[in-house]
Amino acid sequence: MKTLVVSDGGARYTLLVRDDADIPQMTMPSLPPQREFLGWWQEYAQQMHIPYNAFAEPRNLAVIRRLLLGHTTEELKELAVHFMLDHGERLRTEPNQIILFASMLSQLKEELRARS
C-alpha cells in the first residue's frame, strides 16, 4: 500500500492506496507572493549589509500582503531598491524595516516619479 497525504490548509488526511494505483506526481505549489517578496527583501538587504530582523517576520508578512493588494511584486521591488539605497544607514539600526517601508511608500512613489 502507498500512503498519500492530502492537506486543505486546515485538516490533514492520510490515505492508503493500492500499490498498483496510478497516481500522478504532484508538484509543490510556488511560494505565496508575500513570502517571495520577503525572501527577495532579505537577500537584497544582505547584499547591502543591512541586517534583517527575523523576529518581526509574521508582522512583516501581513504588511506585505496588504501592500500587494495595491501593487505588483515588481513595483514593490523597484520601490524597495530605491528605499534601501536612500535609507540604508537608517535601516542598519531599524528593527521594523518593512513597516517603515510601508509608511514611506507614497513618498517613495513621488520621488521615483520626480526622477523619471
Can you tell me the distance from the alpha carbon of 33 to that of 104, in angstroms, rounded to the nearest whole number?
Answer: 21
Whether the per-residue pLDDT at 66 is higher than 90: the answer is yes
| Residue 23: closest CA among 6, 4, 38, 9 | 4
Q: pLDDT of 2-22, one tens digit each?
A: 887 887 767 888 888 888 888
Can you tell me the distance from the alpha carbon of 91 to that of 12, in angstroms, rounded to the nearest whole number?
Answer: 41
pLDDT of 115: 85
Residue type, 32: P
**55 within domain boundaries:** yes
**19 within domain boundaries:** no
Can you tell me the distance from the alpha carbon of 15 to that of 5, in angstroms, rounded to the nearest whole number?
Answer: 6
Number of domains forming the structure of the chain:
1
pLDDT of 22: 81
- Residue range(s) defining the domain that contains residue 106: 33-115
**57 within domain boundaries:** yes
Q: pLDDT of 42-62, one tens digit each?
A: 999 999 999 988 877 889 999
